[in-house]
Chain A
Amino acid sequence: MRNFVQFILYSLRIALSGNSKYYAWLASLLVLVIFGTYSYLYQLQNGLIITGMRDQVSWGLYISNFTFFVGVAASAVLIVVPLYVYNYREFEYIVTFGEFLAVSALIIALTNVLADVGRVDRLFHMFPIIGTPNWPDSMLTWDIIVLNGYLLLNLLIPGYKLYKKYMNQEPSNWIRYFILLSIPWAISIHTVTAFIYAGLSARPYWNTALMAPRFIASAFTSGPAMMILVLLIIRRYTFYRKYISDKAISTLTQITLIAMIINLFLLLSEIYTVFYSATVHQISLKYLFFGLEHDGKLYAALTPIAWISVLMQVTSVGLLLPKRTRQNFKALALACALNFGGVWLEKGMGLIVPGFVPTPIGEIWEYMPSFMEAVIVLGTIGWGLLVYTLMLKVAKTIEGKQNLPEE
């Protein structure tokens, strides 16, 4: 126990010391966090009326971001599986990047839920014993269970390994079971999140069996893309350079590329099915890509976002397919940024909002997030990045001191 306390104190010391660049980075994240928190307090005081949401579109930016970051969290499994199941050693060093990315993404996802509920003081009503969780009926109850479980797993596994490294001991074998458990768990968090939407017959746009597969595909492309970006930045700006092998990055690149192609394929299937059969169900997708006309007025707020998102995703595939651009780190970074941004737009504005347009009784009402709402979301992302930075700093310093991989 004393060792553990020392370990925590030691970690804190590492986390809070660094060069001026490190401090500048932390400070800029803090600014985001402060603005976000301030806006959140403002929302607590004045209610959700300060958001752009209304009865017509009753979920917006918060739930969209929640959805997207659950996907990012799930994608950590793409590093865990090659390493622990197929013993792909190149990922040995970067696995913590994945696990901590999962933790941070979950923090973003869960804080977005906090921002979205109308009565945050009553949140405990959905927990067992102290509340009345509607289990197994409600997918939201399921989701809260699996998300918190996944969060714990991803704190436990890397935390335990680090602690052992700090103590100069070999990790015991039992941790393997948790690692193996985390694999199906990762899939489950995103599947259950997809089921939240897919199970609603009231919203034909979401009510498709393709929902969960599309969620997984888009998560498995945007997650690694994010990871590649992080690794490239770390290689460029910090001294951990030599531990991140080109090979690890190129493997990640391939994963990103394949998942993106599958993702676009699924999107195409969806578009084909909906538009060719041309039932009333096409109306939300039509709204997303072309806008809807009503009484001589065109409602098309999401149209540019939809097309830009598709364009970004297709361009990223174009950049990743040829070997020459794929291996050029500048082009690679651009491709990953496009990929990440494209999926964010698609999942963010393109997935949740059109499900509400038109309303079940035929009203077309356009949602745009309010300024405060956007700041709150930025704040949650700031939290995530802050936690990510601090955790990585600790992990990489301890690992670097005590376990230098051979060149």
Chain B
Amino acid sequence: MDRKKEAQDKDMGRRDFIKKVAVGSAVTAPLMNFQIPIVRVSLDELLQKHFKEMSEEEKKRVIERLEKEHRERYGVDVKIKTTEPLKGVVWGYALNIKRCIGCRRCVYACVKENNQSRASPEDPTVGEIHWIRVVEIEKAKIEPGTEGTDFRTKFGDVKVGISLEEGEHYYDPEKVPEKEYIYIPIQCQQCEKPPCVKVCPTKATWKEPDGVIVVDYNWCIGCRYCMAACPYWARRFNWTWPYLPKDEINPDMHYLGNRIRYRGVVEKCTFCIQRTREGRYPACLEACPVGARKFGNLLDPESEIRKIIDEKRVFRLKEELGTEPKFFYYMD
């Protein structure tokens, strides 16, 4: 092992230690290096309260500890916010599928902004995590006739269509877009009636007043019930510790958003709450080269997103399940 690599290993601290054990001798190492999980988890972390039950004082202490954890584990100074939701706002997203070219720039902007795990060069089991999946569907497969059915929602009428069963999200042609295909980027739809929240046995995931579904990564027990319940395959599980090179970490973090996740918990898109609660757009929207993505306040009748719902041909995914997504797809 050369010098540089050694230094890197030190930087990554605990995560790397664990990983090295995993890769190392599979027979003797586990017994020799085994620590009781209670020990590996600090008492402080173990006894931490549910985010919504913490006082401001407690929150501050927890944030301090978390920032320290980030420093020790990843060697970066981060700022973890607990910005409250804006008053009188419910976020909604709209995506123009006639414009989307399937370039996946949003996917990678999201990975970067939200500190998702990257593929580890040393450990093949540590892979990339993507919150946005772009599904490619043959134009011919969009069911004709289904677009005409109106659904009344509290934010305007929408139409149904598109069966995802025939989709492909590993498409990899030389050049996108391909002519006979359309692209449907799918991320958490921030359902108004989220099945994932209903099923969670610990209330570790909930709907915030601004309509965004969040996860307390310090409260989730990793049962993965929410993953089974989500009709949009929007949730990801940390099967192992995420891998993040030091210089690729986004230090502007939110407790309920893009702080680095633990092994054994779920994560998902939050419409970038670390940005939107400060009046900025989500990273995916800014990355889109064709302007297919629109974002705004659903409660404001004058907002761009409400105009789109009123004026364009709009549909939501799997309308028949009654999840009431706040993610709208539209066509010019």
Contacts and interface: CB of A to CB of B under 8 A. Distances in A.
Interface of A: 38, 41-42, 44-51, 53-55, 58-59, 116-123, 125-126, 131-134, 137-141, 144, 196-197, 199-203, 280, 283, 355-356, 358-363
A199 B221 CA distance: 21
Q: Interface size bucket, B side?
A: 35 or more
A377 B150 CA distance: 49
Nearest to A372: B26
Contact of B203 (A59, A132, A199, A362): A132
Interface stretch (B59-67, B85-93, B166-174, B290-298): B166-174
Contact of A121 (B37, B198, B237): B37
Contact of B163 (A120, A202, A203, A280): A280
Contacts of A58: 224, 227-228, 237
Nearest to B26: A42
B324 to A, nearest CB: 12
Interface of B: 18, 21-22, 26, 30-31, 33-35, 37-38, 41, 46, 50, 53, 125-126, 133, 135, 163-170, 186, 195, 198-204, 219-225, 227-233, 235-241, 262-265, 318, 321-323
B111 to A, nearest CB: 15
Contacts of B37: 44, 120-121
The dominant DSSP class at the B interface is loop
Contact of A55 (B22, B170, B236, B263): B236
A45 B165 contact: no
B30 A200 contact: no
Q: Which 6 A-B pairs give the minimum distances between C-beta atoms?
A: A118-B222, A118-B264, A202-B231, A140-B201, A49-B240, A362-B167
B31, B33, B135, B165 — most chain A CB neighbours (10 Å): B165
A48 B239 contact: yes
A125 B321 CA distance: 29
Contacts of B34: 41, 44-45
B236 A132 contact: no
Given A362-B165, A362-B168, A134 B232 contact: no
B123 to A, nearest CB: 9
Contacts of A144: 201
A361 B125 contact: no
Given A138-B198, A200-B195, 8 more contacts: A45-B22, A55-B233, A55-B235, A137-B198, A141-B201, A202-B321, A362-B166, A363-B170
Contacts of B125: 49
Contacts of A360: 164, 230-233, 318
A45 B30 CA distance: 7
A135 B90 CA distance: 26
A363 B169 contact: yes
Nearest to A134: B203
Contacts of B231: 201-202, 360
Given A126-B202, A202-B229, A202-B321, A46 B240 contact: yes
Given A125-B202, A132-B50, A202 B195 contact: yes
